[in-house]
Amino acid sequence: MDGGLSRSNSFTDSASTSSFLGKKYVCRCGLDAVLRTSLTYQNMGRRFWGCPKFEVGKVGKAGNACDFFHFLDGDEVIEGRARDLLLRLKDKQIRLEKEIQSYKEENENLMAEKAKLLQENADLMSENGKFLQENGDLKVQCEAFVKNIKGLEKKVKRSEKICVRALISCQIFCVVCIVCLLVSVFIGLHRLH
């Protein structure tokens, strides 16, 4: 590395491919290098050719980028208040990107939770459908039982009527028998006299 550019501190704006300025650099990965702008304290504002795999906004050896870079000739380092402002903006952007990342993760978690709840809801709906089916079957069985009971009640009433008639017939028969017996006894006694 030259010029004090440290990858861990490098921060860049949008990249341009090397063909943009009519030059052609190839990084250690064998890819066309891209032109970026350094936002480090030492090299603020200087443009350099770097690996296209480097992920903008990520500090450290993010991704699989190689450490190739080559400063573009003619760029001067920005100093003074402009540098301070750019550094503050850089920090702010990093902070915002971290926030975005955390929101993304939160969103993913919420989506996963939503999918779980939807699945649970689908299971409950299916269970509910099963219960409704069982309820329908039980209703049909209940109606059949009620019909049977009504039939049996009719039979019982018919049997009761038959029993009452038989009882009355028996009573009449008994009365007739007693009368006959009394008449026979009376006739027998009359003959003896």
Using CB under 5 A, which of the segments 59-67, 108-116, 132-140, 159-167 binds Zn ion?
59-67
Question: How many binding residues for Zn ion (CB under 5 A)?
Answer: 4
Using CB under 5 A, which of the segments 29-37, 91-99, 112-120, 131-139 binds Zn ion?
29-37
Nearer to Zn ion (CB atom), residue 67 or residue 79: 67
The answer to whether the beta carbons of residues 26 and 32 sit under 8 Å apart is yes
Residues 60-79 interacting with Zn ion (rule: CB under 5 A): 66
- Going 101 to 102 to 104 to 108, the CA torsion angle's sign is positive
> How many angstroms separate the CA atoms of 41 and 56, rounded?
17
Using CB under 5 A, which of the segments 10-18, 20-28, 71-79, 86-94 binds Zn ion?
20-28
Indicate whether 33 belongs to the interface with Zn ion (CB under 5 A). no
Residue 137, Cβ density class (10 Å: 0-12 exposed, 13-18 middle, ≥19 buried): exposed
DSSP secondary structure letter of residue 26: B
Tokens 């970026």 -> residue: 36
Interface mask toward Zn ion for 122-141; x: CB under 5 A: --------------------
Token code pair at residue 25: 């650099």
Indicate whether 51 belongs to the interface with Zn ion (CB under 5 A). yes
Instruction: Give the footprint of Zn ion on this chain (CB under 5 A).
Output: 27, 29, 51, 66
